[in-house]
Structure 1
Amino acid sequence: GFLPNATAHIAHHILIYGCSVPGYHQRDTPNAVWDCGEMAGGKSGYHRAPVCADGSQIIYAWALDAPPLELPKGVGFTVGGDSGVNFLVLQVHYADISSFVNGQTDYSGITLQMVDRSFGLVKRRAGVYLLGTGGMLPSRKETHLETACKIKEDITLFPFAFRAHTHKLGLAVSGWKVVRDSLSKKNQWTLIGKRNPQLPQMFYSLNEPMKIKKGDVLAARCTMFNYRDHTTFIGNTNNDEMCNFYIMYYVDGDRILDEKYCFSAGYPTYDWVSDPRIINVPNWVDKAASKLD
């Protein structure tokens, strides 16, 4: 499991990445610190490098005082060995650093509960699939940021948790499974999860068991309202916005998806109705995707 040691007034959000090669590595130093280059402006005294130099995958994400996450029995993330995850990198996006700029130490982070693979306690390997967008939000307007991708790998996924993430302008985030009916040739939409991103941004359990197979389309929408008097763009700073929908899943066996990300250009370049894999969005889906229950 994952035990957060952070508060929202200091750490805006925290990510754990698995890397085959980290963006920066100091010999004989297991806890190297560097500037990952994703926050805008200013000069840093740290070495600047990406999160991962190779083999990047998101393992966990936390924000807004979300509680600990316990994985289902027998499910776990594989690290080390031939997993492709040779290093774990903790990335902290700070909301406020004023409390430790004068030599004080910040301990924001995540405690991991781990077990040796030889014990045989983990039978099903976990993974995370991230849907997100780029784009822009015009001033004083509600905007939909949407994305969708088809699963191309011959793997059956069993999603068990989801997480929504935006910054201040997000109203609702929803994720969907879209399956083309072979007889009617119409898309069948199933809700994976929906959440108000202003609530604790934890991984929430799915209401119903679900399978995702090769050929299924995964889609997500973030409903945003920009109350500001200027256009807001998608970016990593607290003054920008983000649109992310995470799906945490397990597989029977040891093979997880190679393609771990699904990103679109977002508004105004991309929307569901212009995507040939979707085209027709039923009215009930269009309403449900943006309305919280």
Structure 2
Amino acid sequence: MALVVISLVLGLCVGAFSAPAPDTPKQIDLLMPHVQPKVPDTYLCHGMKLNSSATYITGFIPNANMNIAHHMLLYGCTSPGMKKPVWNCGEMASDSSMFDTAPTCASGAKILYAWAMDAPSLSLPKDVAFAVGGDTDIKYLVLQVHYKNVTTFLPPQNGNDTSGLNLITQKNKLPRRAGVYLMGTGGRIKPKSTVFMETACKFDSNLEIHPFAFRTHTHTLGRVVSGYRIRDGKWTEIGRMNPQKPQMFYNVTTPNLTVKPGDILAARCTMLNDRDTTVNIGATQNDEMCNFYIMYYVDGKTIMDDNYCFTSGPPNWSWENFGQGDLALEDMPDTVSLPPGSSEPLEEGKDDVARDDESLESILDNLQPRELEELYEELAEEGKDNDLNGYYYGGY
């Protein structure tokens, strides 16, 4: 009888020590299931259904190589774009693709995390987490990978890919919920020029948010991306970074910042195009992007429903076109287009190289009618307009 009692006690003790505490971190792996994309600039998505009980994400560990993956995005979805293990979720789909095509999310898309250029791991501040699953509207996690180089997946290597994320999670509820607010533009960047791509939105949410991290994203032409909160005409920097650095989430440059209803959020990408052709905002690595991410927390469990601020960008939209309040442009900081570590801010305008005779034809082919007329008038004053006559009177 004594042996039975001892055995029961030992069994209970072993059970007690082997069961993890509710707040013990657990790693969840969300990785591409050995895929073989065959075409550069393929976007692939892989989804994971979440449990009926809530999970709290407190950290992100990327597993990817910037020479293969151009970038990765983690979405929370109410429903995924497709229930299949992998699908093509980009604009570069073709009839020859081995993957069916669908959007990233069919409904309820929210960006939770973004990675590019070998950015390191991210741990959220104390008491802050992304809440997913359970009674939240995020029922699925979807990993999106934009493949830059597919050489290793083609013969003779015939390799496969498991790029993705290790998510650090726990089951215990935390008092502060995390969210991501994304600002960006469309538009195009003229040849041989420095262009400001700008966006701004009035903060109409009834919540007060606390930005704690920011991330910048462009492709190769971005030189500095900066974001601001404007309150009563005063500009306060949220973050400013050279997007050619690792595109991680950095601590905000103004600690203890808040954004309240009625504030204005503004962002600018300063782009330097040294090419002879116009570059458009688009989905491929040869196109461009202009994104400023704000990672924030709220006290309580309710985050914003509207987490996006986008404008059409240049040449159709700039801060001067903002109509939701006073941006107080005369009071903007001198450092808006100043790359960190530099002493001279970049100025918008055409570079002198653009006027070289050798590149004249390619420049003219990318000009709009009014731009061509202004260039003609300017060069005519310098006596250099002869070469333009065929273009100016040729139907532009």
Task: Give me the TM-score of the superposition, normalised by structure 1.
Answer: 0.92
| Aligned twin of 2:167 | 112
Match of 1:234 among 258, 277, 281: 281
1:83 — aligned with what?
136
Q: Work out which of the residue numbers 269, 272, 278 in structure 2 matches 1:225.
A: 272
Name the structure 2 match of 1:24: 82
Aligned twin of 1:127: 179
Matched, 1:96 2:149: yes
The runs of at least 4 consecutive aligned structure 1 residues that moved more than 6 Å come to none
2:290 maps to which of 223, 243, 246: 243
1:232–1:84 distance in 2 versus 1, CA, 3 Å: same
Task: Say which one has the larger Rg.
Answer: 2
Q: Find the partner of 2:244 among 198, 205, 208.
A: 198
Superposed displacement of residue 123, structure 1: 1.4
Q: Which amino acid aligns with 2:267?
A: A
Greater per-residue helix proportion = 2
CA shift, 1:38, in A, is 2.6
Alpha-carbon distance between aligned partners in 2 of 1:280 and 1:156, rounded to the nearest angstrom: 22
> Deviation of residue 282 (structure 1)?
2.8
The one-character-per-residue Cα deviations of 1:103-145 (angstroms, maximum 9, x if unpaired) are 31111111101111xx23x210000000000000001000000
Q: Which amino acid aligns with 2:292?
A: F
**Is the CA contact (8 Å cut-off) linking 1:137 and 1:267 kept in structure 2?**
yes
Picking from 9, 12, 15, the partner of 2:67 is 9
CA shift, 1:284, in A, is 4.9
Q: 1:39: Cα distance to partner?
A: 3.1
1:40 is displaced (CA, Å) by 6.5
Q: How far apart, in 2, do the equivalents of 1:101 and 1:209 lie?
A: 49
Query: Does residue 143 of the first structure (1) align with residue 195 of the second (2)?
Result: yes
Q: Which runs of 5+ in 2 are unaligned?
A: 1-58, 341-396
Q: 8 Å contact 2:78–2:137 — kept in the other structure?
A: yes
Which amino acid is the alignment partner of residue 75 of structure 1?
Answer: V
Paired letter, 1:108: S
Q: How far 1:42 moved relative to its partner?
A: 7.1
Cα-to-partner distance string for 1:87-117 (whole Å, 9 max, x where unaligned):
111000111111123431111111101111x
Partners in 2 of 1:92 and 1:170 — Cα distance?
A: 21
**1:215-256 deviations in whole A, cap 9, x for unaligned?**
111110000011111111001110100000000000000010
What amino acid maps onto 2:244 in structure 1?
Answer: Q
1:281 partnered with 2:334: no
Amino acid in the other structure paired with 1:195: M
**Cα separation, 1, equivalents of 2:223 and 2:286:** 16
Q: Which moved more, 1:10-19 or 1:94-103?
A: 94-103
1:254 aligns with 2:301: yes
The answer to whether the Cα contact below 8 Å between 2:234 and 2:328 also exists between their aligned partners in 1 is no
C-alpha separation in 2, matches of 1:105 and 1:157: 41
> What residue identity is the alignment partner of 1:109?
G
SS at match of 1:262: strand
- Distance in 1 (CA, whole Å) between partners of 2:229 and 2:186 is 21
Change (3 A) 1:168 1:40: farther
Q: Secondary structure of the equivalent of 1:273?
A: helix
The Cα RMSD (Å) is 1.4
- Tell whether 2:256 aligns with 1:209: yes
Say which SS state the counterpart of residue 154 (structure 1) adopts.
coil
Identity %: 50
Greater shift after overlay, 4-13 or 36-45? 36-45
Contact 2:226 2:292 in 1 (8 A): yes
How far apart in 2 are the matches of 1:267 and 1:69? 33
Answer 1 or 2: higher relative contact order, Cα 8 Å, separation at least 6. Answer: 1
Unaligned runs of 5+ in 1: 27-31, 181-186
Whole-Å separation in 2 of the counterparts to 1:4 and 1:279? 37
- Mapped partners of 1:209, 1:139: distance in 2: 40
What is the SS of the residue equivalent to 2:152? helix
